[in-house]
Amino acid sequence: MTTRLTIALIYGSGREGRFADTVAGWLEPELAGFSHYDIVRIDAAELAFTPGGLDEASAALVESRISQADAFLIVTPEYNHAYPAALKAIIDSCFRPWHAKPVAFVSYGGISGGLRAVEQLRLVFAELHAVTIRETVSLAHAWTQFDPAGNPFRPGILNGQLAMLMSRLAWWAHALKTARIATRYDEVAA
């Protein structure tokens, strides 16, 4: 599996003072170590929202990055047993560009480590013809897992979980990319 893959790294929290930045401080340098991936970022904090979802310019940007991607890594917190509204607006901003592509999750939160948000996202992505990866990285009581400088207390465990998740994501990304090239997904069921 040597073909380069483009992965869209999606941050679902746009909250001021968000913990997402601490997660990103660990995650992004680790991802840079996977040298056969190109990363494009979609960050809720950098997008403009209207009551109906993303504004036109943000929607166009998100759609172009989702179209470009072979796979998705979603970084999501849990808000009231679900995922953030900003993430839903990102997801809902387009339809076909998600099709026949894999989605993996890094989640964080309180006691559940964001896993309840992830389970809901699996239902959403089924509707978008996307495949969710079983492996997750989940940070329970996330704020207790990093020192004040943002270094994880258990880097071996976290990095091992991330490596497993990225291996599975790459397998699905290659398999589905090959399949999409062989047969256009939207032509198989008219």
Say which residues have a Cβ less than 8 Å from residue 71's Cβ, sequence separation at least 6.
5, 6, 7, 8, 101, 102, 103, 104, 169, 170, 172, 173
CB neighbours (10 Å) of residue 78?
Answer: 24
Residues 144-183 that bind ligand FMN (CB under 6 A): none
Is residue 127 within 8 A of residue 154, CB to CB? The reply is: no
Give the torsion sign (CA, 130, 134, 137, 142): positive
Near ligand FMN by CB under 6 A: residue from 5, 8, 73, 78: 78
Residues 4-33 that bind ligand FMN (CB under 6 A): 13, 15, 18-20
Asked whether position 79 contacts ligand FMN by CB under 6 A, the answer is yes
Asked whether position 49 contacts ligand FMN by CB under 6 A, the answer is no
Say which residues have a Cβ less than 8 Å from residue 153's Cβ, sequence separation at least 6.
144, 145, 146, 147
Shortest spacing between CB 147 and ligand FMN, in angstroms: 16
Asked whether position 43 contacts ligand FMN by CB under 6 A, the answer is no
Asked whether position 142 contacts ligand FMN by CB under 6 A, the answer is yes
String marking each residue 82-121 x if it binds ligand FMN according to CB under 6 A:
--------------------------xxxxx---------
Asked whether position 69 contacts ligand FMN by CB under 6 A, the answer is no
